[in-house]
Amino acid sequence: MAQVSTQFMAERIVGYLGPRGTHSEEVALCLYRGERGRFIPFASIDAAIRAVETGEVMECLVPVENSLEGSVNITLDTLAHEVNLFITKEMVWPVRHNLLVKAGTKHINVVVSHPQALAQCRYYLARFFPGAELKSVESTAEAAYLVASGAKNHAAVASLRAGEIYGLETVAADIQDNPNNYTRFIVLGRQQAEGRSGRRKTSVVCQINGERPGSLCDILQEFARRNVNLTKIESRPARTGLGVYIFFLDIDGDMEDDNIHAAVSAVKLKSLWFKNLGSYPVYAV
């Protein structure tokens, strides 16, 4: 039965932060391995998210947090202020940077990549290529494209997938300085995720009355007294004035768990504004 229903399932159309060869594309390909699907690159995170809202794609995969750089604010702000979508999946991805060149390259005078990737390989590059100039471009994939297009004595810091797409050779793999470099990606859709199996998380966002001492504490107590663990709390501007915030809360478990449902209901009552971003399964590589 399962096989039959798969066969007749509509093709999945997934947007991601492009261009082709980005970490986002790598993650999308891994997450949907073995499924029929089309993957559409978007020029920016908010364009990918809005394309779900308008129906141009069925879902999108975007980064939401990096273990070194913190939250991806445009993802959080767009989710809170601009669209009404749900998180339907989460995937944690180890960030691996690689030094890629065009076949036959003997000397590396310029290393090109996204500024964040260059920063994350700073010590490696200073040690092994102390004389090389570092050049910033819009994405790691664009760096691979530039090197493939024949920029002389250039190397790119990019994903192995980008090397594959643009036919580059790997000089060195895993050149990132800090091994604790992970990015959390989320999939966004117009409906809530179904199912209950495996590890699940729930995300909500709320605004509370910040002028009263202890109002955030009040909210957190609703979780603590029910033994519900928050995996993350993040404040972002409410955009109505300096010092006015909304809070993103990530909860360990599913909204249908009794204690989580009770805690979230209590928080909703105490909030000036509240948005449920859904419960979803958590995947790791």
Site residues, its own copies (CB under 8 A): 65-70, 73, 92, 178, 180, 182, 184, 210-214, 216-218, 220-221, 223-225, 227-237, 239-245
Of 102 and 114, the one with the shorter C-beta distance to its own copies is: 114
- Decide whether 40 or 220 has the Cβ nearer to its own copies: 220
Residue 35: count of CB within 10 angstroms of its CB: 11
Residue closer to its own copies by CB (options 55, 213) is 213
3-state secondary structure 191-252: CCCCCCCCCEEEEEEEECCCCCCCHHHHHHHHHHCCCCCEEEEEEEECCCCCCCEEEEEEEE
Structure tokens at 194: 């179904």
CA distances from 127 to 91, 175, 177 (A): 33, 11, 11
Residue 12 or 270 having the CB closest to its own copies: 270
C-beta of 82: minimal distance to its own copies in Å?
13
> What tokens does 272 get?
């000036």
CB of 250 to its own copies, least distance (A): 9
- Calculate the alpha carbon distances from 132 to 102, 111, 135, 136, 144 in Å: 16, 6, 9, 13, 17
C-alpha span between 248 and 22 (Å, rounded) = 27
CA 234/CA 247 separation, integer angstroms:
6
State the nearest-atom distance from the C-beta of 255 to its own copies, in Å: 17
Going by C-alpha positions, the residue among 46, 77, 70 that lies closest to residue 248 is: 77
CB nearer its own copies, residue 37 or residue 210: 210
Q: Minimum distance between the CB of residue 183 and its own copies, rounded to whole angstroms?
A: 8
Residue 104 CB, shortest distance to its own copies, in Å, is 35
Give the largest CA-CA distance in the chain: 66
Which helix or strand (DSSP H or E) is residue 280 part of? strand 273-284
Q: Which is nearer to its own copies, 73 or 109 (CB)?
A: 73
Nearest distance in Å: CB 77, its own copies = 8
